Chains A and B, each alone.
Chain A
């Protein structure tokens, strides 16, 4: 598991949105996203990030305190130590007050033609 320096997330909300602020958890510590742009209302796009500089045993996006949040797509850009930057696109998911969604993916494995 590499050290996660920073991550940025772009969230496309579907039909049901929620309210700001958007929180995430890093190793079960709940924090608001920083450098935010856009919104999380219906069909809106939101961007935010956080400078972690630690090892991500778990990284999740927290659901709203009440109601539902339909997420259509999430793109997460990871900046990890000793690893080229990489991105992962997650598909649709619905969050509520009882859920959080995993947004951590290990760096891709090296692959080459033989």
Chain B
């Protein structure tokens, strides 16, 4: 019997071969409805739920006369979050994509004065910075100290932190909600539907958008790419006055996330 034929039979699953001493290969047909001796009982599919994580209150949130700032680079070192113990843009968020957009907003102007700062996102009492060039933890240690310094200096100056023009162009939550829902219905969901995915708008707070990725998007390894290059771009192009966009999907939960 040729090697190819043997391999074909090994993977066919329709026959079992019993080789007996001195005999030629005997092939035994297995009926398709016969129970497989090696098959285990089908596993019980349980739903994975989340218990609340009890965390100690962050020091940055403790009221203090001093301006306290903590730096926290993301796990992939793509960005660094600065947590401040006072509001930067209370109730709202704003993304400064480049230095030009920072004009008129003292907080953003000061952050962009630091070399290699690429973008700045402010939301309530946090600022998230991305940088150009190397993005190791040690690279953030140096930059974070500089950014922390200019944030503190601007806050101590006591001036308005965000341009009045920016504040004036942010509409009501209802308008933001309607505009984003329209983008989801007409652009985003038709796009991800081809992969069995679905995006749901879960909250609008001020001009901050929170979504959930469901169906084929939940647990998918490309979900982050879809979120940043597809959904973020579509939202910002159609609704330029939105600030932060959060994905609250638990990609590991549920009975059938993509990777399980």
Q: Which residues from chain A sit less than 8 Å from chain B, CB to CB?
A: 28, 57-58, 60, 62-63, 71, 73-74, 88-93, 95, 97-106, 109-114
Contacts and interface: CB of A to CB of B under 8 A. Distances in A.
B72 A111 contact: yes
Interface stretch (B11-19, B21-29, B145-153, B182-190): B145-153
B168 interface: no
Nearest to A74: B51
A105 B73 CA distance: 17
B51 A114 contact: no
A62 B46 contact: yes
**Range of interface residues on chain B?**
20 to 34
A99 B49 CA distance: 7
Contacts of B158: none
Contacts of B82: 114
Given A91-B52, A99-B47, 10 more contacts: A28-B43, A93-B51, A98-B46, A100-B46, A101-B49, A104-B252, A109-B72, A111-B70, A111-B71, A114-B147
Nearest to B151: A114
12 contacts: A28-B43, A28-B260, A57-B259, A88-B53, A91-B52, A93-B52, A106-B75, A109-B75, A111-B72, A114-B145, A114-B147, A114-B149
A109 B72 CA distance: 7
B43 to A, nearest CB: 8
A93 B253 CA distance: 15
